[in-house]
Amino acid sequence: MVYRFMIISDEVDDFIREIKIDSEATFFDLHEAILKAAKYKNDQLTSFFICDDDWEKEQEITLEDMGSSSEEDSFIMKDTKLSDLLEDEKQKMLYVFDPLAERVFFIELSEIITGKDLDKAVCSRMAGEAPKQTIDFDEMMANNGGNLDLDETFYGDQDFDMEDFDPEGFDMGGAASSDPYEQDNY
């Protein structure tokens, strides 16, 4: 069987990669195909996550053995075939390509082609430029005059207004509290 994966980025709107790979290939083979299709170096500790329909992470497949607890199954890319964990079309995965900044590609198993095999992965569709592989925090600091702009838009809530803040609702130094934990004798 051949798996056809659609890969997109939330950072670059027109970035699309489509990779066809044999279902008996390993996650490491897919990892290498993604790196080649995005023109990335193989110098990051990447990982895959099998996700539910809402992109919530479920199972991690790591590049190296991370020595996780024996209670949960651990999967290593070189030792895990795609068919071991993927069996349904529309299955979702995340590929963490920049682990320090937790940047990912969104991957969907868009088609399972039966009756065919592939010797090696093929990038069958390539559109747009891949996002930069890693974020250089030192470069960001230098470009911003030594100041990372971490205002309210950094956290995703541009609509927050300090004028809407109600300090009285938080008892900021007003009446004495009846809370026993605020006493000095604990």
Q: Which residue has the tokens 């005059």?
A: 145
Cβ atoms within 10 Å of 35's Cβ, excluding its own = 19
Q: What is the pLDDT of residues 93-146, one digit of tens each?
A: 999 999 988 999 999 999 999 999 999 999 999 999 999 998 876 666 665 555
71 confidence band (pLDDT: 50, 70, 90): low
Q: Give the position of tokens 């974020």.
A: 135
- Distance (Å, rounded) from C-alpha 141 to C-alpha 151? 15
pTM above 0.85? no
pLDDT at 10 over 70: yes
Q: Which fold has domain 2-138?
A: 3.10.290
All structural domains of the chain with their residue ranges: 2-138
3-state secondary structure of 89: coil
How far is it, in rounded angstroms, from Cα 61 to Cα 82?
10
Nearest Cα to Cα of residue 131 among 111, 156, 105, 109: 105
Name which of 34-48, 74-88, 159-173 the model is least confident about.
Answer: 159-173
Task: State the residue for tokens 């390993």.
Answer: 26
Predicted confidence (pLDDT) at residue 35 exceeds the cutoff of 70: yes
